[in-house]
Chains A and B, each alone.
Chain A
Amino acid sequence: MAYIELRNVSKSFGVGKDRTQVLSNINLEIEEGEFVAIVGFTGSGKTTLINLISGLLMPDEGEVLFKGEPVTGPSHERGVIFQNYSLLPWLNVRNNVGMAVKEAFKKMTRSGRKKRVEEYVEMVNLSPAINKLPKELSGGMRQRVSVTRALSMSPDVILMDEPLSALDALTRGNLQQEILKIWNKDKKTALLITNDVDEGILMADRIIPLKPGPKATLGPEYKINLERPRDKTALNHNEEYKKLRNSIIEYLIQIGEQRASKKENIYTLPDIKPVIKPTPFGRLNFG
C-alpha cells in the first residue's frame, strides 16, 4: 500500500455556468521515503493538488489517502511549505517557528521547544537573523524560515508548493541544495511542485508532468535514476540527464501546443467592400 494515494480525484471551483473543473481524474501513488516532483505550467492546478493532499481542500470526487486513511483536514503529519512563504509579519523568526513547534509538540517543555527552534533555525543558517521580523529578511531568507517552520514540526511528509519559484536563480540553487541536504538526513517522503524541469530532475526520484488545466490530469511519469548526491554542474554533462531533460521538455511543449491549438478560434470575416458614392463632377483630384 502506498504512503500517499490519490484515487480518481477531481476538483472544481465556482458554481453554475462558471464552474470549471480544475483537476480531473488524478491518480497518484507516493511510496514512503520517496521524493516526487510534479511539473506543470502555471495555472494548471498544481496548488490545488497540493492543497488536496495537505487537507486544506477536499476533493469533489475520489479520495485522498494518507497511510491508508482518508484525509479529512490539515494535520501536523503533512508539513506544507507555501509558495508565498506565508510568514506572520508581526512575529519574528523565532516566534514564527516557535508557534509551529508549540503546536506540534504540546507536551515539550519551554526550554526544550526553545532548543528545538534554535536547532532548526541553525540548520538553515539563519541564527543571526533569529530575532528579525519577516520584513527585514530577503526573499530567500523568508523562504528558509518557511522551510524551517514546516520541518520543525517533524512531519511525515513535506509538501512543497513551488517553494523556490519567487527567488532569483542563485538563491534558488543554494536553497535547492539546502533542502536536499535536510531531506537526505532522514529521507522523509516529499512532494515538490515546480515549474522548473531542472529543479525537478535535480531533486526528485520521480517526475510527473501535470497536463494544463482545466481538467488537468497527470501525464506519464519519468523515473530518475541519477545517483545522489547530485551535483548541478556535473549533471550538465551527464548524458542520461540530458536525455531525460529533453524528453520531459518535449513532452511539456507538446501538451502545451495541444492546449494552444485547442483554444484557437477561427474568425470568418464578412465579405463586404467599402461603398464609394460617385460625386457629380466625377472623381475630384487635388494636387
Chain B
Amino acid sequence: MKDRSIHILNFVGLSFFEPAIRLASGEEVKKNLIALFKKVFLPILSVGLFLILWHSGATYLYNIEKDARIEKALNDRGEAAALEMKTCIESGDISCQPNTLPSPSQVWEAYKSLLADHRVITQKKVAFAEKVAVTNAQREAQGLVPIKYTGRPSFVDQILTSLKTVFAGFLLAFLIAVPIGVMLGLSTTLRSSVNWLIQIFKPVSPVVWLLLVFMIVKTLTRNSDSDSSFIISFISVGLCSMWATLVNTSMGVSSVDKDYINVAKVLQLNVGQKVFKIILPSSFPLIFTGLRITLSVAWMVLIAIELLAQSPGLGSFVWEEFQNGANDSNSKIIVAMFVIGIIGFLLDRIMLTIQKFVTFTEETA
C-alpha cells in the first residue's frame, strides 16, 4: 500500500510527498527527515521569502505613490488639502487609495472577493433558471430558443471558458500537426519542399496569427449571427502552438532507429503496419515532448489572444480589470496571474503523466 502510493506519487511528479509517507511509517527516520527538510521545508521557506520581498516591494511603491499624492494636493490646493489627503489615505478610505503594485494581503482579499462574487453570480443564475423555467418549457414546446442567462460571468466561469478554448485549440493543433508531421517525417521530398513554410511561419507572433484568422473567419461567418470570437481565438491558439508538435513529430518519425526499420523489413510489414506498429510507437517520446510544449505554448498565448479577440476568458478578464481601474483591479490582475500560472503547471503535469503512461523508456543495457 505504502510503496504503491509512493510509486503513483512519483509517477505523477509529486515526489515531494515521498519522505513524508516514509516518515509516517517510521522508516529510516534520520534520512527521511533530511529529505523532508530538503523537499518540503526549503520550498516553503523560499515561498515565504518571496512573500516578504513582494510585501516590502509593494510597501515601498505604495509610499512613493502616497507621498506623490500628498505633494500634489499640497502644490495644487494648499496645506489643508494635503492634510486632508493624508488622513484620508491613512484611514484606508477607498476613494483616495494610491494605485500601485498590490501587497500579498490585498491580493488575498481580492481572491476572496472574487470567490464571493462567484457565489453571488451562481445564486443569481439558479434564481434566473427557476424564474424562466416555465417560460423556457413553453418556448421549447413552440420550437423557440430558450432564454439564457446573459449576466456578467464570474471569475470561475472565465477560467472554465479559457480551459475550453485552450483544449479546443490544443485538439486542433494535435489533429493538424501530428498527421502532417508523420507525413513530413516519412518523405524527405515533402519535408524539403515545405520546410521553408514551416521555418517562416513558426516564429510568427500570436497577435499576427490572430489577425490573420480574424480576416478569414470574419469573411467566412459573414452570414451567421453567432459570436465568432470563440472560433477565432481557438483557431489562433491552435495555429500558434502547433509548430512544436509538427517539428518534433517529423523529427521523431524521420529518425527512427535503423534496427527497427530492419525488423519491419524482415517481417515484411506493409506500409500501414510499418507506420502504426514501428514508426509511431518509436517516435512517441518525441511526439509527446512536442505535445507538452504545444500545450504550454497554447496556454501562454491564449491569454494574449483572448485579450485581443475580446472573447471571454482569463485574458479578457485581465484586460477588463486593467481598463476598469477600480481600487482592487490590480489585485485581481495578480490573482489572475497566479491562477494562470498554477493552471499552466497542472496542465504540464497532466501531460507528463500521460506521456509516462504511453511511452517506453529507452533500454539502458
Decide whether A and B assemble into one complex. Answer: yes
The interface of chain A, by Cβ under 8 A from chain B, is 54-56, 73-76, 79-80, 82, 84, 86, 88-91, 99-100, 103-104, 133-135, 138-139, 142, 153
The one of B259, B263, B277, B363 that contacts A135, using a Cβ cutoff of 8 Å? B363
The one of B262, B359, B360 that contacts A56, using a Cβ cutoff of 8 Å? B262
Chain A contacts for B269, CB-based, 8 A: 103
Chain B contacts for A54, CB-based, 8 A: 266
Q: Which residue from chain A places its CB closest to the CB of B365 in the assembled complex?
A: A139
The one of A82, A88, A103, A134 that contacts B268, using a Cβ cutoff of 8 Å? A103
The one of A82, A91, A104 that contacts B259, using a Cβ cutoff of 8 Å? A82
Q: Could you tell me the distance between the alpha carbons of A174 and B311 in the complex, rounded to whole angstroms?
A: 70
B345: interface (CB < 8 Å): no
Are B267 and A86 within 8 A (Cβ)? no
B119: interface (CB < 8 Å): no
Are A90 and B281 within 8 A (Cβ)? yes
The 0/1 profile, CB within 8 Å of A marked 1, for residues 324-365 of chain B is: 000000000000000000000000000000000001111111
A sample of 15 cross-chain residue pairs with beta-carbon separation below 8 angstroms, ordered by A number, consists of A56-B266, A75-B268, A76-B268, A86-B260, A86-B263, A88-B263, A88-B281, A88-B282, A90-B282, A90-B359, A91-B281, A99-B277, A103-B269, A104-B267, A142-B365
If A103-B268, A135-B363 are given as contacts, then 5 extra A-B residue pairs at C-beta distance below 8 Å, sorted by A number, are: A56-B266, A76-B268, A82-B263, A135-B361, A135-B364
B265: interface (CB < 8 Å): yes
Q: Which residue from chain B places its CB closest to the CB of A134 in the assembled complex?
A: B363
The interface of chain B, by Cβ under 8 A from chain A, is 259-260, 262-263, 265-269, 277-278, 281-282, 284, 359-365
Closest chain B CB from A76 CB (angstroms): 6
Closest chain A CB from B280 CB (angstroms): 10
Closest 3 CB pairs of A and B: A90-B360, A86-B259, A90-B281
Q: Could you tell me the distance between the alpha carbons of A133 and B277 in the complex, rounded to whole angstroms?
A: 16
Q: Could you tell me the distance between the alpha carbons of A134 and B282 in the complex, rounded to whole angstroms?
A: 14
Q: Which residue from chain A places its CB closest to the CB of B267 in the assembled complex?
A: A103
Q: Could you tell me the distance between the alpha carbons of A91 and B269 in the complex, rounded to whole angstroms?
A: 16
Q: Could you tell me the distance between the alpha carbons of A90 and B282 in the complex, rounded to whole angstroms?
A: 8
Q: Could you tell me the distance between the alpha carbons of A135 and B365 in the complex, rounded to whole angstroms?
A: 8
Closest chain A CB from B268 CB (angstroms): 6
Are A73 and B265 within 8 A (Cβ)? yes
Closest chain B CB from A85 CB (angstroms): 8
Q: Could you tell me the distance between the alpha carbons of A99 and B277 in the complex, rounded to whole angstroms?
A: 9
Are A88 and B361 within 8 A (Cβ)? no
Are A84 and B259 within 8 A (Cβ)? yes
Q: Which residue from chain B places its CB closest to the CB of A85 in the assembled complex?
A: B259
Q: Which residue from chain B places its CB closest to the CB of A95 in the assembled complex?
A: B277
Are B265 and A74 within 8 A (Cβ)? yes
Query: Known contacts A100-B267, A103-B267, A135-B363: does B262 contact A86 (CB below 8 Å)?
Result: yes
Closest chain B CB from A159 CB (angstroms): 9
Closest chain A CB from B276 CB (angstroms): 12
Chain B contacts for A86, CB-based, 8 A: 259-260, 262-263
Chain A contacts for B281, CB-based, 8 A: 88, 90-91
Are A135 and B262 within 8 A (Cβ)? no
Q: Could you tell me the distance between the alpha carbons of A152 and B327 in the complex, rounded to whole angstroms?
A: 77
The one of A56, A91, A100, A153 that contacts B265, using a Cβ cutoff of 8 Å? A56
Q: Which residue from chain A places its CB closest to the CB of B278 in the assembled complex?
A: A88
Are A99 and B267 within 8 A (Cβ)? yes
The one of A55, A89, A138, A142 that contacts B362, using a Cβ cutoff of 8 Å? A89
Q: Which residue from chain A places its CB closest to the CB of B262 in the assembled complex?
A: A56
Chain A contacts for B267, CB-based, 8 A: 76, 99-100, 103-104, 153
Q: Which residue from chain B places its CB closest to the CB of A96 in the assembled complex?
A: B263
Closest chain B CB from A100 CB (angstroms): 6
The one of B262, B268, B277, B363 that contacts A89, using a Cβ cutoff of 8 Å? B363
Chain A contacts for B361, CB-based, 8 A: 89, 135
Q: Could you tell me the distance between the alpha carbons of A26 and B286 in the complex, rounded to whole angstroms?
A: 42
Chain A contacts for B364, CB-based, 8 A: 135
Chain A contacts for B282, CB-based, 8 A: 88-90
Q: Could you tell me the distance between the alpha carbons of A104 and B266 in the complex, rounded to whole angstroms?
A: 10
Q: Could you tell me the distance between the alpha carbons of A103 and B265 in the complex, rounded to whole angstroms?
A: 11
Q: Which residue from chain B places its CB closest to the CB of A137 in the assembled complex?
A: B365
Q: Which residue from chain B places its CB closest to the CB of A75 in the assembled complex?
A: B268
Closest chain B CB from A134 CB (angstroms): 6
Most buried by B among A56, A89, A135: A89
Q: Could you tell me the distance between the alpha carbons of A73 and B362 in the complex, rounded to whole angstroms?
A: 30
Closest chain A CB from B108 CB (angstroms): 48
Chain B contacts for A74, CB-based, 8 A: 265-266, 268
Are B265 and A89 within 8 A (Cβ)? no
Q: Could you tell me the distance between the alpha carbons of A56 and B284 in the complex, rounded to whole angstroms?
A: 26
Chain B contacts for A90, CB-based, 8 A: 281-282, 284, 359-360
